[in-house]
Amino acid sequence: MVDHHTHPASSGSGHPPAIELREISKTFGTVRANKAISMAIGKGAIHGIVGENGAGKSTLMNILYGLHRADSGDILIDGQITPIHSSADAIRAGIGMVHQHFMLVPNFTVLENVMLGSEGSPMLKPGVGETRALLKTLGEEFDMHVDPDALIEDLPVGLQQRVEIIKAVKGGARILILDEPTGVLTPGEAESLFKILRRMKQDGVTVILITHKLSEIMAITDTVTVIRGGEVVGHRKTADTNPEELAELMVGRKVLLRVDRGAARPGAVLLEADGLECHAADGRPLLHDIDFQIRAGEILGIAGVAGNGQTELLEVLSGLRPVDKGRLVVMNRTVTRQSRTDPEQMRQAHVGHIPEDRHRHGLVLAFEARENAVLGFHKSSVTGEGALIDQQAMTAHCLDLMREFDVRPPNPNLSGRNFSGGNQQKLVIAREIDKRPRVLIVGQPTRGVDIGAIEFIHKQLIRLRDEGCAILLVSVELEEILGLSDRIMVMNAGRQVGIVPCEEADEQTLGLMMAGIRGSDAA
Amino acid sequence: MTAPPPLPKWADLFVLPVINLLVAFFICGLIILALGENPISALVVMVKGAFVYPGSLGYTLYYTTNFIFTALAVAIAFHAMMFNIGGEGQAALGGLGGGLVCLWLAPSLPAGIVLPLAILGAAAFGAAWGVVPGYLQARRGSHIVITTIMFNFIAASLMVWLLGGPLLQQGQQSPQTEAFEPAGQMPKMHDLLGGLGIETTSSPLNLSFVLALLVLVGFWVLIWRTRLGYEIRTVGHNPDAAHYAGINVPRTIIVAMAIAGGLAGLMSINELQGVQHRVILDFTAGYGFTGIAVALMGRNHPIGIFLASLLFGALYQGGSELDFEFQSITRDMVLLIQGMIILFSGALAYMFNPPLARFIARVAAKRLEARHV
Ligand SMILES: Nc1ncnc2c1ncn2[C@@H]1O[C@H](COP(=O)(O)OP(=O)(O)OP(=O)(O)O)[C@@H](O)[C@H]1O
Ligand SMILES: [Mg+2]
């Protein structure tokens, strides 16, 4: 429960900062993830932390939350040196954390998830009552209502995250850490998250927010710290800075926030969907009557609120999910319910796939980078021609990709799990683009990726388009869709609402279409 | 709890198992002390009994051979994230396959043809016994742990029926087949070495030991150097990513289980063609189960498995010596020591991981600091 009494230390003027970090350092092997990082955050402030992928943001927050132990340095809470050696210590010190990857039990209800770990007595009944009351008060206090009896797996991501926040603050946390909370949210969900955060701020809760979206930093934070290569390169009052300055601080050079592209020169149709349908195991329709064509040298963007069939569309197009009705024509291969395909055949047909979920599909986290760099291509020449996998060829291939796509650290023997999220993504993108696919299926290419890398990835996609690749791009970022696509298809509830040429699209028309309202669209 | 820093590979492979072993031995030492014997002299007797007394090394390596095969059968399945508990049944069926070849061909063909065919027969029958649970898991979703255990029982009953009926030696009461002709017998190592002019004491150690060493090398190549091995490991670590990568997940699971069954089946060559020279009942004697512990201790890696097999072989052999030399130490005591080692190296294998990892990380950080200053 969030308690309301004022801490003696913070009453009166000249109170100490809610959190102060002094000279925090942390080394992993030879990587110095944090180098003497210091910062102070006032009580009730919303403080942003920005930096490139691998800058050390998550490491720093994991230290503050007791998941890693710093090699040196101090953590001060309300002016007191507070050793934090475990998350239990952190919770005792009033710190709550929402991780980028949710830690909920999918087939438990909201109530059961919130109660988890604080059941109280051997019998569940009293705990259930208390938790129900807690959900109600928190819901009213911070305007974050969730149905206590809904199953987690049935909730949209935004609400699941709300449950994570409730779990983080239920013990009375006065400091809330959010590590890239908006990466998976739709703009609407992000807006309601910010509303909650503003309410918490009014209540005196201190919030630390890690994000790669500078617009969010500008919109909601009071102060911001920029980290580069494990070091603080600047503290700013949000009111005194702008996205360009922050971007330059982060990357160390000027960054194009929107990539230039010439007009498309479409060629032959390479990918065509014709009355495409697919169903869930229980017969529920997931995709309904999808029709589109993509030509060589063209990007078709798929816009829509997450969970409206985009995932299934990506799965069907890449051969992961069978076609149940209609047909799919990939170059000159026809795929229907009868003539099935699989990911191997699609790959052989030069269809590349950058999957939406890099941890689930894109990488084997336990594998070394060089093994991940041949995932899906282990039978091709990148692993050599002989009967055995050519180790040198595999390593050289990985080094090439790392050099060309600036994957950091450029160590082919580091296991996938030890790269930061953005660098994992760059490795996946490098692997797929490097094979010069004729058709590329792309899901959320820049989720969790820093602005420098977004610029780079966008340039690569445009270059691939200009070389004659047909690209299908799914993204929940409207800005990304508008910035890259030549035509935009909007999806709602597994159906296509319409296809509009890029010139005629703006956030507003797309927004209406995403809600299922058909505009006066042509084509 | 602070997540411990990752343990370096070398420490995981070598330091941790040694620590586990020392702890197990320490506790056994305390127990021996409580029995009123001197743990140090018990240890000396064990080591001498396993390696020093004439012929003891041969016995130790003979047991080692059995463990190598059954542990590899667990390890390959484990790389595909399958828990193969069916080593016993697969080995029993392997014995049947190899035995049939020898009964049928040894009277008429030379050893140079019969023995390779017996090896193939043992591997093929073992593989078949591994494929069925593999298929049921991969295509029908029946849990491999349950099916492999059930298949152990089925194999045992099948063997009882065959050896008590269709394959029973004429005019015999005990359930066993007729003896294999000499062409169906694995050459003994002391004979082979004797042929080279090296005199050794007679022991059950036979050519199967060399086969086991070759299979260890082959296993390493398969898992870490071939495309099939890459597919098996991908399926084991992340089946969704394997599917994405165009790997046929069910087929890979079935293939891994086939290889597992084949490896377990080879254990019968050491026991039957090597020593018994006929198919007998229950020759698997629990090696299939102990193989699980050996694989765990050996971290599913051929080098680890070789060392762990050697350790268990030494325990088997040295243990019987203990039983023989000390009044108060019985056969059960030896089982207890084995149990301790299985407990600490298998079930509690990672108990000392966090403190060791922290210790190594601290030392590494200090060194790095020193370099940066
Ligand atoms: N357990 C680990 N072992 C080895 N290196 C690690 C480990 N965890 C992180 N690192 C390295 O430390 C550096 C900082 O990683 P961190 O996850 O803190 O980055 P980040 O700023 O959160 O990046 P992103 O924006 O991509 O999430 C990276 O170079 C990363 O590879
Ligand atoms: Mg991070």
Ligand 1 lined by A452 (C-beta under 6 Å): no
pLDDT band at A241; cut points 50, 70, 90: very high
Q: Which atom of ligand 1 is nearest to the CA of A55?
A: 21
Of the partner residues B227, B237, B243, the one whose CB lies closest to the CB of residue A378: B227
- pLDDT for the residue B3: 58
**Which residues in A lie closer than 8 A to residue B225 (C-beta atoms)?**
388-389, 391
Q: Name the most confidently modeled range: A401-405, B120-124, B190-194.
A: B120-124
Could you identify the residue written with the tokens 């999910």? A321
Averaged pLDDT, B289-314 = 92
Which residue would you say has higher pLDDT here, B315 or A103? B315
**Which residues in B lie closer than 8 A to residue A71 (C-beta atoms)?**
365
pLDDT band at A25; cut points 50, 70, 90: very high
- pLDDT for the residue A144: 78
- pLDDT for the residue A519: 57
Residue A183 has pLDDT above 80, yes or no: no
List helix spans (H) across A318-420: 343-348, 369-372, 391-405
Antiparallel, parallel or unpaired: β A439-443 and A470-474: parallel
Give the Å distances, CA to CA, from A54 to A216, A400, A423.
20, 20, 7
Min Cα separation A93/chain B (Å): 15
Lowest-confidence segment of A28-42, A502-516, B66-80 by average pLDDT: A502-516
Q: Name the most confidently modeled range: A143-147, A446-450, B41-45, B256-260.
A: B256-260
pLDDT band at B25; cut points 50, 70, 90: confident
DSSP state letters, B13-44: IIIHHHHHHHHHHHHHHHHHHHTTS-HHHHHH
Structure token digits, residue B149: 């255990």
**Which 3 state secondary structure label does DSSP give A11?**
coil
**Which residues in B lie closer than 8 A to residue A343 (C-beta atoms)?**
243-246
Q: Is A284 exposed, middle or buried (0-12, 13-18, 19+ CB in 10 A)?
A: exposed
| B163 neighbors B100 (Cβ within 8 angstroms) | no
pLDDT band at A14; cut points 50, 70, 90: low
| A498 neighbors A520 (Cβ within 8 angstroms) | no
Among A307, A421, A321, which Cα is nearest to A362's? A421
Antiparallel, parallel or unpaired: β A206-210 and A495-501: unpaired
pLDDT tens readout for residues B136-179: 999 999 999 999 999 999 999 999 999 988 888 777 778 888 89
Structure token digits, residue A66: 């007791």
Q: CATH 3.10.110: does it fit domain B56-300?
A: no
Q: Would you call B227 and A30 a contact, using CB atoms and an 8 Å cutoff?
A: no
Q: Which amino acid is at B290?
A: T
Report the share of chain A in percent with pLDDT over 70. 96
pLDDT band at A4; cut points 50, 70, 90: very low
Residue A521 has pLDDT above 70, yes or no: no
Residue A3 has pLDDT above 50, yes or no: no
| B42 neighbors B336 (Cβ within 8 angstroms) | no
How many cross-chain Cβ pairs, A to B, lie less than 8 Å apart?
81
- pLDDT for the residue A371: 97
Which residue would you say has higher pLDDT here, B292 or B338? B292
- Calculate how far, in angstroms, residue A359's C-alpha sits from the geometric centre of ligand 2: 14
Whole-angstrom distance, CA of residue A422 vs CA of residue A455: 13
| A382 neighbors B230 (Cβ within 8 angstroms) | no
Q: Which atom of ligand 1 is nearest to the CA of A29?
A: 4
Which residue would you say has higher pLDDT here, B327 or B281? B281
Q: Would you call A69 and B2 a contact, using CB atoms and an 8 Å cutoff?
A: yes
pLDDT band at A355; cut points 50, 70, 90: very high
- pLDDT for the residue A190: 84
Which residue would you say has higher pLDDT here, B19 or A237? A237
Q: Would you call A71 and B365 a contact, using CB atoms and an 8 Å cutoff?
A: yes
Which structural domains are found in chain A, ordered by start? Answer: 1-94+174-254 (3.40.50.300), 106-171 (no CATH), 269-361+437-522 (3.40.50.300)
Which residue would you say has higher pLDDT here, A519 or A139? A139
Q: Mutate which of A24, A28, A99, A423 to test ligand 1's pocket (most atoms within 8 Å of Cβ)? A: A28
Residue A109 has pLDDT above 70, yes or no: yes
Residue environment code for B48-65, b if the CB has 16+ CB neighbours within 10 A, otherwise e: ebbeeeeebbbbbbbbbb
Mean of the per-residue pLDDT values of chain A: 88
Lowest-confidence segment of A217-231, B37-51, B316-330, B344-358 by average pLDDT: B344-358
- Calculate how far, in angstroms, residue A50's C-alpha sits from the geometric centre of ligand 2: 10
Whole-angstrom distance, CA of residue A196 vs CA of residue A179: 16
pLDDT tens readout for residues A276-290: 999 988 888 899 999
Query: How many CA atoms does the CB half-sphere of A188 hold within 13 Å?
Result: 11
**Which residues in A lie closer than 8 A to residue B248 (C-beta atoms)?**
342, 344
Q: Mutate which of A30, A31, A226 to test ligand 1's pocket (most atoms within 8 Å of Cβ)? A: A31
Q: What is the ipTM of this complex?
A: 0.87
pLDDT band at A299; cut points 50, 70, 90: very high
Structure token digits, residue B165: 């009926």
Q: How big is the CA angle at A113 (ends A109 and A117), to the nearest 5 degrees?
A: 150
- pLDDT for the residue A5: 38
**Which residues in B lie closer than 8 A to residue A320 (C-beta atoms)?**
243-244
- Calculate how far, in angstroms, residue A56's C-alpha sits from the geometric centre of ligand 1: 6
Q: Mutate which of A59, A227, A425 to test ligand 1's pocket (most atoms within 8 Å of Cβ)? A: A59
Residue A515 has pLDDT above 50, yes or no: yes
Ligand 1 lined by A55 (C-beta under 6 Å): yes
Ligand 1 lined by A51 (C-beta under 6 Å): yes
Residue A307 has pLDDT above 70, yes or no: yes
- pLDDT for the residue B273: 96
pLDDT band at A162; cut points 50, 70, 90: confident
pLDDT band at B2; cut points 50, 70, 90: low
Give the Å distances, CA to CA, from A68 to A417, A455, B288.
15, 32, 41
Structure token digits, residue B97: 């396959």
> Is residue B365 within 8 angstroms of chain A, CB to CB?
yes
Whole-angstrom distance, CA of residue B233 vs CA of residue B238: 8
End-to-end CA distance of chain A: 54
- pLDDT for the residue B266: 98
Among B91, B89, B111, B90, which Cα is nearest to B102's? B111
Query: Residue A109 — left, alpha, or beta (φ > 0 → left; ψ -120 to 50 → alpha)?
Result: beta
Ligand 1 lined by A418 (C-beta under 6 Å): yes
pTM of the model: 0.86
Nearest residue on chain B to A394, alpha-carbon basis: B225
**Which residue lies with its CA nearest to atom 17 of ligand 1?**
A420
Residue A10 has pLDDT above 50, yes or no: no
- pLDDT for the residue B372: 62
Nearest residue on chain A to B235, alpha-carbon basis: A364
Averaged pLDDT, B352-364 = 81
Q: Which atom of ligand 1 is nearest to the CA of A68?
A: 1
Of the partner residues A345, A366, A391, the one whose CB lies closest to the CB of residue B237: A366
Residue A185 has pLDDT above 90, yes or no: no
Whole-angstrom distance, CA of residue B177 vs CA of residue B164: 9
